[in-house]
Structure 1
Amino acid sequence: MENSKQGRTPFGERLLRARKNRGFTQKQVEMHVGIAQSNLAELELKGTGSSFTVSLALLYGVNPVWLALGKGPVTGGRPSPDWLDGLSESELSLVEEFVQSIVAARRRGHARRLPIDAVGSPESDRNREAHKRRASKGK
């Protein structure tokens, strides 16, 4: 893997950045995770991956996929499936709306199955409005 201007690999840069952002010294990381300080120093310079990656990500509070591969959000969230990468903004909005409706239904304790092709259709909009009216009458 190619090294950056600072002589670090991309993985090493992410590792160093994550550690520094959390304010840990290499010695502190050694005590928390069990990786030898010298091994961590080497990983931060020319590493391309490690069996400690997930443990380090948890300690640093970063997304393990971001730390390992440089993909996805730096913190929080779950990695998104690859099939989302090819969707347009409007398609991503429809997927997000669909997921939010499932989460909301589960919170209310009565999730129902919706056909994926119905999301965003006039019929799904009518169903959503009818559901809102029924829910507001129950309050």
Structure 2
Amino acid sequence: MNHFADRLRRARNLRGMSQSALAKACGLSQGAIANYENKTRQTAKGIFQLAEALHVNPAWLAQGIGPMEAADPVDAPHSTYQLSDPAHASQHGLWPFKNISPDVYWSLSRKERNILEDTMASLIRSFREESAQP
């Protein structure tokens, strides 16, 4: 992937996000996202917002430099996500929730997503503790 447009489209698709959901997540317009992906706009003024919303390395997104994965120490204790190619999906699939669409999830703010993730982690711990009791 030699072009910003291709990297943006790939990361967005791997996240299961529509252009509209990405626009909401990063504060840009859906038209701007479409223009980036169609190569109408060659450089993104909102590269850091896009990278944050997609959880990718801004240098990779902008120029193809470095790893695709973001190395954000702020998120490290809260997140174990990895971008994955649908062709190499695990047996659990790419999206674990049948009643919550990726678009809805990714349209939430980072703070709201962190709250959901912390809540899920707490529930999982609780379920594991219950099942370990005799």
Q: More relative contact order in 1 or in 2 (CA 8 Å, sep 6+)?
A: 2
What is the TM-score normalised by the length of structure 1?
0.47
Larger radius of gyration: 1
